[in-house]
Amino acid sequence: MQRLLIVSNRLPVSVERRKTKLHFQPSVGGLAIGLGSFYKSYNSLWVGWPGIALNKKDSQEREPLEAKLLSEFNCYPVFLSHNDVENYYHGFCNRTLWPLFHYFTQYVVYDEALYETYKRVNRTFCEAVTEVAKEEDIIWIHDYHLMLLPKLIREKMPDATIGFFLHIPFPSFEAFRLLPWRKEILEGVLGADLIGFHTYDYARHFLSNVRNLLGYEHTLGQISGEDRVIRVDVFPMGIDYEGYANATERREVQKNVNKMRKKLGDTRVILSIDRLDYTKGIPQRLEAFDAFLGKNPQYKEGVTLILVAVPSRTQVEHYRLLKKQVDELIGKINGEHGTIGWIPIWYLYRFLRFPTLNALYSIADIAFVTPLRDGMNLIAKEYLASKTDGRGVLILSEMAGASKELGEALIVNPNNKEELVEALEEALVMPEDEQIEANRMMQKRLQRYNVRRWAEDFVDRLLYTKRLQREMGARMLTSKMRQKLVSDYRKSKRRLLLLDYDGTLIPFFVRPEVARPSETLIKLLEQLCDDPQNEVVLISGRDRGTLERWFGNIDLRLVAEHGAWIREEEWELIEPLANDWKEEIRPILELYMDRTPGSFIEEKEFSLVWHYRRAESELASVRARELKEELFHLTANLNLGVLEGSKVLEIKNIGINKGRAALRWISKEQWDFILAIGDDLTDEDVFAVMPESAYSIKVGLSPSKARFNIVSQYEVRDLLRELVETKDREVKDS
């Protein structure tokens, strides 16, 4: 079994200094609790911060602490200084990323110094991981604290198997674009092979940001990066279902249940458990409970809200202000509605041990879980797992990731006070058989997809992605195959080179007219054409006027408009073509251009092209599908086809394609070396007509009819440069 390296900000065990001794106790965080049971049963090592700040001068404490964590807990510590903890964890993580990713943009701090510390700490984690990681290990990185880490490890270990999972929401483009270091964060995460999210919405937002900010397209969550395929997928985190369900029968839990019932009597219990965080919607929940008591006086002395608030990030100002607000609200509600012998709200400001927590789940008639924004929220799942008799009602915010799985709960908008009040009213009168029916359905789901299944699902998908990469790697033009290509080129006497232009010899530009060939590229093409043994053909979708201006002075063979025009000596049409259809099609394209800001129309002699590279990507994708469908019906009887290229739709005569033009040269004579290079769908027609002995190369990592893939345009030019240099060496040798 491969070893699993779990990497997170905190270890599942926390170290505290009490007087002169170090004490070890389980960590509080949801990740530590959720994965704690899984990692112990797996061949794994957990890498993270142990919760105690130690400087380099504390080396006498470091070594024995590291040894104890390794031997007793299977944990490898990353040591951070007080300054690191302050500026990295309390700083960039929780003053910048946390509020931004939860859409609290008014709380976000943009501070270069905090980001520099974040980078440095991520590098520290990288050093720790690479110290213990072996080549065959699976490295699974968790959460927003370590978003630069995947790329850092990739730079040190290019072939590593790396997964990344984000446990909080990923914001939409409109929110994420506010971050000054947005590209660096995305590039950091894209160092992973598999990137996981709790919900489809978060994955969709991530992919949208990658496309808008880095320009990488995806197909069904698969991104073709610069050097490998990267997978983005959804894995809703589960819990240790059996652990919570079985705990209700434990003696300690039953003892707590009896004690609580004795104090509460017949009072109905509404339970609210959260970290004290502004994303959890605690003030809104309290205000709704206040409104509920005001509207329903019959429930006074008959219902109690038990509010558990776990202390969190007390050094951050917004959290201190939140505690003050919550304290005041509870005092106001208890003072206004309370009676002698009955307190409406029991307020517990502390962390609860598992037996107490499980007892609260058991006695609660209602779980009131209404965060304003939450990545998943495991409290809702833990509550359901603990309700072994099936009774109880879950009120759940639609802003929590768990709401996508737990649709049988009472789903509410946490900002709608009236809706929260109505949900409380409905929950209190819901018949037991309805409660049991809804809960049993959710429980079966949670039982099937528990935390172990979640983790195994992620790891299996990660290994599948690595297999996919290896298959793609087998198609890459390796150095060995490149040497063979150059050798075959050197030995051959008659060579045919079929080259695309945009996306192959030069990168794509937002405006096509900017993509002029540089002097270096012109010189390279001249050198290829000067060799009398070479026939070099540039097969492009560009119009003939542009190709003539840019390449007319070179002894190149030119193909324009995807094969409509061909120039050997003079320009000629491949066959008689009509263009009177343009008058019927142009108004349709103009309508879509007007409806899609940033798009524009290019008119060639025998085709019309709708470009949408400059348009907002999601809108453009929708419009492109709509336009393609409309054109499909419109051109059915006009002998026209709709050609889909890179961010373009081109309408042209059926039968005109690059492959047909390529065949003109392939059949011209007996070539002993043929090389074809292209980058998009239009070049697949060329690859399809290549003889078996030919070298065909697709630029980019997407599947293709070409024999090989190459990463970028820069590698294409480097390859062509090597062919030229090969000829130069032959001349010198002779």
Name every residue whose Cβ is closer than 8 Å to that of residue 669 and which is 6 or more positions away in sequence.
Answer: 494
Give the percent of the chain with pLDDT over 70.
Answer: 97
The one-letter code for the residue type at 476 is M
Q: How far is CA 134 from CA 156, 230, 460, 652, in A?
A: 12, 21, 19, 55
Res. 732: pLDDT tops 60: no
Kindly report, residue by residue over 295-312, the tens digit of the pLDDT.
999 999 999 999 999 988
58 confidence band (pLDDT: 50, 70, 90): low
> Once rounded to an integer, what is the mean pLDDT over residues 458-483?
89
> Once rounded to an integer, what is the mean pLDDT over residues 535-554?
93
Kindly report, residue by residue over 354-399, the tens digit of the pLDDT.
999 999 999 999 999 999 999 999 999 999 999 999 999 999 999 9
Catalytic site residue from 84, 374, 500, 543: 500
For residue 729, what pLDDT is reported?
58
Kindly report, residue by residue over 579-612, the tens digit of the pLDDT.
888 888 999 999 999 999 989 999 988 889 999 9
Write out the CATH class of domain 4-234. alpha beta
Give the count of beta carbons closer than 10 Å to the beta carbon of residue 600: 16
Kindly report, residue by residue over 148-165, the tens digit of the pLDDT.
999 999 999 999 999 999
Q: Out of 3.40.50.1000, 3.30.200.20, 3.40.50.2020, 3.20.20.120, select the CATH number for domain 477-575+656-733.
A: 3.40.50.1000
Q: Considering the domain 582-653 in this protein, what is its CATH number?
A: 3.30.70.1020
Of the ranges 99-113, 218-232, 714-728, which is most confident? 99-113
For residue 649, what pLDDT is reported?
92
Tell me the backbone φ, ψ of residue 704, rounded to 5 degrees: -160, 165
- Domain-by-domain residue ranges, the chain? 4-234, 242-448, 477-575+656-733, 582-653
CA 149 to CA 78: how far, in whole Å?
A: 13
Q: How far is CA 258 from CA 292, 346, 362, in A?
A: 28, 17, 11
β-pairing, 607-611 with 648-653?
antiparallel
- Collapse the DSSP code of 636 into the 3-class scheme (helix H, G, I; strand E, B; otherwise coil) and give the result: coil
Q: Indicate if 365 belongs to the active site.
A: no
CA 695 to CA 57: how far, in whole Å?
A: 60
CA 520 to CA 234: how far, in whole Å?
A: 45
CA 660 to CA 696: how far, in whole Å?
A: 16
Write out the CATH class of domain 242-448. alpha beta
571: buried, middle or exposed (CB in 10 Å: 19+, 13-18, 0-12)?
middle
> Once rounded to an integer, what is the mean pLDDT over residues 453-472?
91
**Is the separation of the CB atoms in 304 and 346 below 8 Å?**
yes
For residue 37, what pLDDT is reported?
67
Which position has the higher pLDDT, 65 or 314? 65
Res. 17: pLDDT tops 90: no
Edge-to-edge, what's the strand order for the sheet holding 571-573?
A: 571-573, 565-567, 557-560, 534-539, 495-499, 673-678, 695-699, 708-710
Sign of torsion, CA 131 132 135 138?
negative
C-alpha count within 13 angstroms, C-beta hemisphere, residue 129:
32
- Would you state the structure tokens that stand for residue 18, as one six-digit string? 């009490």
**Is the separation of the CB atoms in 690 and 674 below 8 Å?**
yes
Domain 4-234 and domain 477-575+656-733, same fold? Reply is: yes
For residue 356, what pLDDT is reported?
95
**Is the separation of the CB atoms in 361 and 382 below 8 Å?**
yes
Q: How far is CA 620 from CA 56, 597, 616, 683, in A?
A: 53, 9, 6, 23
Give the percent of the chain with pLDDT over 90.
Answer: 71
Average model confidence (pLDDT) for the chain?
A: 91
